Amino acid sequence: MRRRRKKNPFDLILPFVGLVVLGFVFSPVLRGVIIALLCLAAAVLMILIILAVYRHCQKKQDLAHDAFYLGRKDPSKDNASGTAKGSLANAESEVEAASQPSASVDSGLLRVRVKGEAYVGAKLPERFTVFSRELLDALEWRRFEQLVTWYFQKTGFEAMRSRVGADGGVDIHLAKKGETTPFAYVQCKAWYAYKVGVKPIRELFGVMAADGIGTGYFVTTGDFTVEAQQFALGKGMKLVSGAYLLERLGSLPEPHRSELLREATLGDYTTPTCPRCDEKMVLRSGPDGEFWGCRYFSRRPSCRQTFKLRTASPKG
């Protein structure tokens, strides 16, 4: 019995190729289809090449950014290959270990650098017994915002904080007791080293006008410029400086005042919170010195939020 010959794949491919060639030569319709398919394949190939190049450049840029974030000015100057990746891995393990960073990483001192001027580090007391300027200066921005929210709640308002992330120029919505519709907006700024200028006041007023809100409070740990105070006149806006806030806190009944003081200083109230992730940040070092960085900076998707170091009150 004769053995069947094994089929060769080319026995099927070659006739098909021949038919395609004949159709390309003698059939205008088939010729147009083939040309369209070839153009489509070329376009897909070009897109894939562009995407590959883009991903390669993006990865290189991320690596350079992370190296800079970790304090290395130019990772391309490293002699040993993989040094930058090793630094990123070490940094990620360091971030994991510091899941709850606190003021202890700063030795309990308020930082001492603002635009190169001389500041004096101030040791924070173990426990504050009264509201003071020193306490307001020590509060990180999120805890200060919480303190203002609690204050309004203690004075008979429904105070609701905005969501995490971009707040649209409003930190707190104020409503009357038992109501949910806000009648006032509140913006908070923990800017004790700088005066609040007219720009943030104008922005808050713009949001109020757009939403039909007639009352606005702008609360800061510091003070306001003359221009900001003049702009707020006659616009239903109340500018609350740090000194005036201390007066209002001091006028609260003793039980309310003690409760607010206890809540304001509970746990870590000095390490800044990442406004995007709502997590405590980590103290890091870079080419320009120390700074606060988000603990999720080395993850994907990453967060590159940074803050300058807080400072103590200036001399004198």
CATH, residue 140 = 3.40.1350.10
**Does residue 217 sit within a domain?**
yes
Mean pLDDT in order along the chain per 10 residues (316 residues) = 58 68 71 80 89 76 52 43 44 37 34 37 68 89 93 94 66 92 93 86 94 95 94 95 95 94 90 85 81 78 75 45
Domain span including residue 152: 132-264
Confidence at residue 16, expressed as pLDDT on a 0 to 100 scale:
66
pTM of this structure = 0.61
Query: What are the structure tokens assigned to 276, written together?
Result: 């995007």
CA 296 to chain centre: 10
Indicate whether 148 belongs to any domain: yes
Q: Is residue 163 part of a domain?
A: yes
> In this structure, is residue 26 part of a structural domain?
no
Beta strands in the chain (DSSP E): 113-114, 117-118, 157-161, 172-176, 184-189, 215-220, 237-240, 282-286, 289-293, 306-307
Looking at residue 243, its pLDDT comes to 94
Reduced to 3 states (helix: H, G, I; strand: E, B; else coil), residue 298 is coil
Count, in order, helices (H) and strands (E) of the chain: 9, 10
pLDDT of residue 306: 82
What is the number of domains present in the chain? 1
pLDDT at res. 69: 46
Q: How many CA atoms lie within 13 A of 108 on its CB side?
A: 6
3-state secondary structure of 286: strand
DSSP letter for 280, please: B
Q: Is residue 299 part of a domain?
A: no
Domain assignment present for 98: no
Q: Give long-range contacts, CB 8 A cutoff, 24+ apart: 297-304.
A: 297/66, 297/69, 297/95, 298/66, 298/88, 298/91, 298/92, 298/95, 299/92, 302/62, 303/274, 303/276, 303/277, 304/65, 304/69
Question: Is residue 114 in some structural domain?
Answer: no
